[in-house]
């Protein structure tokens, strides 16, 4: 009989052969000569692999196979969008190879770009589901800059890659854009498949909407209590208050390390870190980007890292960043994803992430640190509440654009401008800075649910565990030991 480990390992090895870009972006080692292929035949082979793999008794793998099969059959794995479509992920992969610094590996990947993108053009021609017009236009804008860019030098391979993107741009302009659908959303049925993929459990959009609207009302009240003179006014003052700003990458790194150390100390009351996990290294590059966590290497050759990009050396407001460190670092992604890498029983488990579980745990971990006393000031607690409020608002926008449910509790239908204004009203950001956030939800259906809805699942499981008298340390140890799994697997493991 096939063992669980061999089933997962064989599946991951074949999946990596068919999609080396996905494997590389997950941190798995990939053969430098792996073929980049986005043709209809390749996507058909990926779908057949999902359908034919026997999970060997592993409930986590079985759930992922079913969820990804539904996602693929809904046409979401091949759909053109600004975030997850093949040409965008391929570009991200090339950038990663360039940063890694092996010119030969980069040159081989660049040389394979034209054929890979021609294959994707054939896939777009073969699909019966036209992409959203707004997504085509945004991808065209990105591809146009890539086709003219010089990021990868002037080698013959780099020129071939630029030519490949230019050829795809022509296909999108002449063939795809004229037949693109005017609607931004994917519709209720496809949205359910997307939500199942990201969460690892089935979702009733109407029920989810009702619950999140009520949660948003609670968070509005909580933020008003912490900022009685007004949220926007308070945030504007804190952003320039020298007591809540830090200047320069080195000072920011020191500030972050101090708070991560505090989190590790107070977290010992409710959490158990596995041997060998170690501390998180903090890197503060002067560049644009979002904070991100990079797990340690399983062989110990690379420690865990928290990368916190800052666009300039100007003073950075930090009153709302303690929660970010708890989410991306300790005890959030570091404890969960770092532990998964060090204790995984298969390559699949080491390099698979279910967003509803991972992001849900990280938001839940923010609350653990609040309850443990790591957020010692009203300013930091306001930063935490506003983060939760924006998470819920983003989930409501996501539900609205794709299923037609009203925007939050306003009763208004989704529009791009209306969604940006809604998010601005629920945060300290201006509407103009939130358009990409809205477009990201349109491009990536269901992903915005993973923060608020995933955290709610963790909170419900913790409440059930507490009701049984289970020690919190044991609850966290047991749930995190399950590794990368959908929320339905978490609930089954606890009997919830």
pLDDT digits (tens, 9 = 90+) for 187-246: 999 999 999 999 999 999 999 999 999 999 999 999 999 999 999 999 999 999 999 999
d(C-alpha 82, C-alpha 142), whole Å: 8
pLDDT digits (tens, 9 = 90+) for 410-434: 788 889 999 999 999 999 899 999 9
3-state percent helix, strand, coil for the chain, nearest multiple of 5: 65, 5, 30
- 132 bridge partner residues: 181
Mean of the pLDDT values across residues 142-151? Answer: 93
CA distances from 133 to 182, 187, 199, 435 (A): 6, 15, 27, 16
Residue 495's SS3 state is coil
Predicted pLDDT of residue 3: 46
pLDDT digits (tens, 9 = 90+) for 307-334: 999 988 889 999 999 999 999 999 999 9
d(C-alpha 346, C-alpha 358), whole Å: 18
Nearest to 66, CA basis, from 177, 183, 197, 163: 197
Nearest to 471, CA basis, from 269, 229, 173: 269
Percent of the chain with pLDDT over 70: 99
Give yes or no for a cis peptide into 92 (omega within 30° of 0): no
Predicted pLDDT of residue 496: 63
For residue 425, is it left (φ>0), alpha (ψ between -120 and 50) or beta?
alpha
Mean of the pLDDT values across residues 384-391? Answer: 98
- Please write down the long-range contacts of 137-143, taking CB distance under 8 Å and 24 or more positions apart: 137/177, 138/82, 138/439, 138/443, 139/80, 139/81, 139/82, 139/85, 139/87, 139/88, 139/172, 140/169, 140/172, 140/173, 140/177, 142/82, 142/88, 142/91, 143/87, 143/168, 143/169, 143/172
**What does the block give as tokens for 76?**
């979401």
Element (H, E) at 317: strand 316-317
pLDDT at 4 over 50: no
Burial class (CB in 10 A: 0-12, 13-18, 19+), 253: middle
d(C-alpha 325, C-alpha 256), whole Å: 7
Contact 15, 30 (CB under 8 A): no
pLDDT band of 5, cuts 50, 70, 90: low
Mean of the pLDDT values across residues 334-338? Answer: 94
Mean of the pLDDT values across residues 272-285? Answer: 91
Residue 39's SS3 state is coil
DSSP string, 232-283: HHHHHHHHH-GGGEE-SHHHHHHHHHHHHHHHHHHGGGT--PPTT--PEEEE
d(C-alpha 107, C-alpha 172), whole Å: 26
d(C-alpha 423, C-alpha 278), whole Å: 37
Nearest to 326, CA basis, from 250, 256, 274: 256
Q: Within 13 A of 429's CA, how many CA atoms are on the CB side?
A: 23
Predicted pLDDT of residue 428: 87
Percent of the chain with pLDDT over 90: 87
How many other CB atoms are there within 10 angstroms of residue 445's CB atom?
29
β 316-317/245-246 pair status: antiparallel
d(C-alpha 173, C-alpha 408), whole Å: 35
pLDDT at 20 over 60: yes
**What does the block give as tokens for 318?**
């930090």
d(C-alpha 213, C-alpha 209), whole Å: 6
Find tokens 């539900």 and name the residue. 399
d(C-alpha 166, C-alpha 163), whole Å: 5
**What does the block give as tokens for 335?**
């404890």
Farthest-apart Cα atoms in the chain, separation: 66
pLDDT at 110 over 50: yes
DSSP annotation of 31 reads: -
Predicted pLDDT of residue 301: 80
β 245-246/304-307 pair status: unpaired
| Dihedrals phi, psi of 245, to nearest 5 degrees | -130, 150
Domain boundaries defined on the chain: 4-182, 198-244+332-494
β 292-294/304-307 pair status: antiparallel
β 304-307/280-283 pair status: parallel
- 280 bridge partner residues: 304
pLDDT digits (tens, 9 = 90+) for 54-91: 998 999 999 999 999 999 999 999 999 999 999 999 99
pLDDT at 1 over 50: no
Question: Across all residues in the chain, what is the average pLDDT?
Answer: 94
Alpha helices, H only, 127-248:
133-148, 156-171, 188-199, 205-226, 231-240
Find tokens 């923060």 and name the residue. 451
d(C-alpha 196, C-alpha 64), whole Å: 9
d(C-alpha 23, C-alpha 32), whole Å: 12
């Amino acid at each position: 009989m096939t063992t669980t480990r061999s089933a997962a390992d064989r599946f991951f090895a074949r999946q990596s052969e068919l999609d080396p870009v996905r494997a590389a972006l997950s941190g798995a080692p990939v053969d430098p000569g792996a073929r980049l292929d986005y043709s209809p035949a390749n996507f058909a082979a990926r779908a057949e692999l999902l359908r034919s793999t026997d999970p060997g008794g592993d409930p986590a793998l079985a759930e992922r196979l079913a969820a990804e099969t539904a996602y693929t059959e809904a046409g979401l794995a091949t759909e053109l969008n600004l975030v997850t479509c093949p040409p965008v992920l391929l570009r991200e992969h090339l950038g990663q190879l360039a940063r890694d610094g092996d010119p030969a590996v980069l040159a081989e990947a660049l040389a394979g770009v034209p054929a890979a993108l021609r294959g994707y053009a054939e896939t777009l021609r073969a699909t019966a589901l036209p992409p959203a017009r707004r997504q085509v236009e945004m991808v065209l804008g990105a591809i146009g800059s890539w086709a003219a860019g010089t990021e990868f030098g002037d080698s013959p391979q780099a020129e071939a890659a630029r030519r490949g993107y230019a050829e795809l741009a022509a296909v999108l302009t002449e063939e795809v854009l004229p037949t693109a659908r005017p609607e931004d959303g994917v519709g209720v049925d496809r949205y359910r498949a997307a939500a199942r993929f990201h969460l690892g459990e089935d979702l009733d959009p109407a029920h989810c909407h009702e619950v999140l609207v009520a949660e948003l009302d609670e968070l509005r009240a909580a933020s008003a209590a912490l900022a009685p003179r007004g949220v926007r006014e308070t945030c504007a003052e804190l952003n320039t208050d020298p007591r809540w700003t830090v200047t320069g990458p080195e000072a920011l790194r020191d500030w972050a390390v101090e708070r991560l150390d505090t989190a590790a100390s107070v977290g010992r009351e409710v959490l158990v870190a596995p041997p060998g996990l170690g501390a998180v290294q903090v890197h503060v590059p002067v560049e644009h980007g979002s904070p991100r966590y990079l797990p340690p290497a399983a062989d110990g050759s690379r420690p865990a890292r928290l990368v916190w990009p800052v666009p300039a050396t100007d003073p950075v407001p930090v009153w709302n960043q303690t929660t970010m460190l708890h989410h991306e670092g300790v005890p959030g992604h570091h404890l969960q994803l770092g532990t998964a890498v060090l204790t995984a029983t298969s390559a699949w488990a080491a390099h698979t992430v279910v967003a509803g579980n991972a992001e849900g745990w990280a938001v839940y971990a923010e609350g653990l640190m609040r309850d443990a006393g790591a957020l010692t000031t009203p300013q930091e607690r306001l930063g935490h509440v506003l983060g939760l409020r924006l998470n819920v608002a983003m989930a409501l926008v996501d539900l609205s654009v794709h299923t037609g449910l009203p925007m939050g509790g306003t009763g208004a239908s989704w529009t791009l401008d209306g969604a940006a204004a809604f998010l601005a009203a629920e945060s300290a950001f201006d509407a103009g800075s939130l358009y990409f956030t809205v477009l990201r939800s349109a491009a990536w259906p269901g992903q915005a649910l993973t923060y608020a809805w995933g955290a709610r699942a963790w909170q419900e499981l913790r409440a059930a565990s507490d009701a049984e008298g289970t020690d919190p340390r044991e609850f966290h140890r047991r749930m995190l030991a399950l590794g990368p799994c959908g929320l339905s697997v978490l609930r089954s493991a606890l009997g919830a």
